[in-house]
Amino acid sequence: MRRVLDVFLGETARQVGTLRFEAQGARQSAGFEYHPDWLAAADRFALEPGLPLVSGMQFHQQARDGSLFHGAIADTEPDGWGRKVILRDYAKQRQRAREEGAAIEPHALNHLDFLLAVDDTSRVGALRFRDENGIFQRTPEPDRRTAPPLIELSLLLNASRAVELHTETAADLAYLRGRGTPLGGLRPKCTVIDKDGRLSIGKFPSVQDDRPVTKGEVLALLLAKESGINAAEARLVDSDGSPVALIRRFDRPDDGGRLMYISAATMLGVDTSDGTEHSYTEIVDALRQHGSQPQTDIEELWRRIAFSILITNVDDHLHNHGFLHTQLGQWTLAPAFDVNPFPERVRELKTWISEDTGPEASIEALMSVAPYFRIDRDAAIRILTEVERATNRWRQVGHSFGMSNRELDQFFDAFEHRERQIASALING
């Protein structure tokens, strides 16, 4: 099987290239080729450092368990949760066909099926894929809205919960189709339109949660803002008694359009599935090379690490950091997202501070890299002071959106620990 899709960019849909996909039995391959018009355009840019602006097909070497596609394309693929919904939906459709006596071709979903199962309107970033029939993938059935309004949150939540509990019906899956799938990540989530018409993500409590995780995420995002971090807008909404974290999509700006997004993994050209360790100093290097405001973003990054240490946000892997394209191949740090206090986890960062410091989430390690970030000691102490003062208010901020003392107590160890004391001593010393 061979498929050729046109790759477009943004709401106005400018063609940037074509994606070629081939499958022969279990063997699959993919390549991307820039369109000559894009290569000649004054405002052209490389979709990622690993896809230089040259003509001809560029093939992607798939790492074991990695994506078949180049990073910029793979960053728009569903994973974890999205794949679960797609697989269940597929199995259910086949089951129904079988029951109706239809002949079922043996066919497993391939990499392209997953990539194209995402609703075009809510696909992360600015890339869009148009099939051989001129249809943007995925375009929902004619009688169906794409992203549902906030008022349908409880339907989305119930359908998602049913998937988690393995009790979902064909109707649940049909309802989630395209909507439950647009984003990467493991946790149950959905696309939804907020009251003001803005595209948002609803992150749901999981049946596996043993603490109020969605409240913890809203708390972390609010504290990040108070710490001077450019963080995604978040609020908590109640859906029939379930707390849902509603997070505004930062790749859909106020004035419309779509912003090109790539993960930090794509920026660094690394496949995180191979288990090799990477560090923040590599992101600093990438910002120096590709950043539109490198020193501002490098300081912002240092601030985010300080924040992660102080709230024990230790799930800081390279898909939980990203970049937005500004112009002509220059990129800026995307707002912070997926930050969470993890009270029970070992205090080790997924992204090391530097190769020398290793995974340890410590203020000492952070201070040791300040010169590499070109942050002098006074500036470092100033940033640390701002972050420490803000995170110190974690209980008040939690109360401000209705968290109870009992709920907050479950996060205690994430906020009150030795590194907090070390930070205060440094600030006051």
Ligand X SMILES: Nc1ncnc2c1ncn2[C@@H]1O[C@H](COP(=O)(O)OP(=O)(O)OP(=O)(O)O)[C@@H](O)[C@H]1O
Q: Which of 214, 227, 320, 357 binds ligand X (CB under 6 A)?
A: 320
Q: Which of residues 301-320 bind Mg ion (CB under 5 A)?
A: 320
Q: Which stretch binds Mg ion (CB under 5 A): 108-116, 183-191, 206-214, 305-313?
A: 183-191
Please say which residue, 194 or 338, places its beta carbon nearer to Mg ion: 338
Please say which residue, 187 or 420, places its beta carbon nearer to ligand X: 187
Q: Which of residues 170-199 bind ligand X (CB under 6 A)?
A: 183-187
* In contact, 390 and 227? CB cutoff 8 Å: yes
Q: Which of 114, 129, 250, 352 binds ligand X (CB under 6 A)?
A: 250
- Check residue 60 for interaction with ligand X (CB under 6 A): no
- Check residue 214 for interaction with Mg ion (CB under 5 A): no
- Shortest CB 184 distance to Mg ion, Å: 7
- Shortest CB 108 distance to Mg ion, Å: 26
- Check residue 80 for interaction with Mg ion (CB under 5 A): no
Please say which residue, 264 or 298, places its beta carbon nearer to ligand X: 264
Query: Residue type at 157?
Result: L
- Shortest CB 334 distance to ligand X, Å: 7
Site string for ligand X, 3-32 (x = CB under 6 A): ------------------------------
Q: Which of residues 120-139 bind ligand X (CB under 6 A)?
A: 124
Please say which residue, 35 or 319, places its beta carbon nearer to ligand X: 319
- Check residue 338 for interaction with Mg ion (CB under 5 A): yes
Site string for ligand X, 255-274 (x = CB under 6 A): --------------------
Q: Which of 118, 193, 232, 370 binds ligand X (CB under 6 A)?
A: 232
Residue 251 binds: one of ligand X, Mg ion, none (C-beta under 5 to 8 A by kind): ligand X
- Check residue 247 for interaction with ligand X (CB under 6 A): yes
List residues binding ligand X (CB under 6 A).
Answer: 80, 124, 183-187, 201, 232, 247-251, 315, 319-320, 337-338
Which residues of this chain interact with Mg ion, rule CB under 5 A? 185, 320, 338
